[in-house]
Amino acid sequence: MANDMICLDIINTMWYDYRGTGKSEDRLTNPKWIEYFMKDWNLTHLSYPSDETIKELQNLRQLMRDILQKTTQNQLPSTDELMKLNIFMDKAKRSPVLIKKEDHFELELVSDKQSWSTFISEIALSFSELFTKNEYKRVKFCKNEDCRWVFHDNTKNGRKHWCSSDTCGNLSRVRKHRDTLKED
Contacts with Zn ion, residue ranges (CB under 5 A): 18, 142, 144, 147, 149, 163, 168
Query: Is the CB of 68 or the CB of 147 nearer to Zn ion?
Result: 147
User: Closest CB to Zn ion among 10 and 163?
Assistant: 163
Q: Is 117 helix (H, G, I), strand (E, B) or coil?
A: helix
Report the distance separating Cα 160 and Cα 154, nearest Å: 8
Q: Closest separation between CB of residue 143 and Zn ion, Å?
A: 7
Closer to Zn ion by CB, 18 or 127: give it.
18
**Helix, coil or strand: residue 110:** strand
Residue 110, beta-bridge partner list: 95
Query: Least distance (Å) from Zn ion to the CB of residue 124?
Result: 25
In whole angstroms, give the CA distance from residue 121 to residue 60.
10
| HSE value, Cβ hemisphere, 13 Å, CA-based, for 181 | 6
Q: Please state the closest distance from residue 62 (CB atom) to Zn ion, in A.
A: 20
Q: Cα–chain-centroid distance for residue 72?
A: 14
We find the least distance from the C-beta atom of residue 63 to Zn ion, in angstroms, to be 22
Residue number, 68 or 125, with CB nearest to Zn ion = 68
Nearer to Zn ion, 121 or 144 (CB): 144
Distance of CA 111 to the CA centre of its chain: 21
The string of DSSP letters for 26-94 reads EGGG-HHHHHHHHHHTT-TTSPPPPHHHHHHHHHHHHHHHHHHHHHTTT-PPPHHHHHHHHHHHTTS-E
Give min distance, CB of 153 to Zn ion, in A: 13
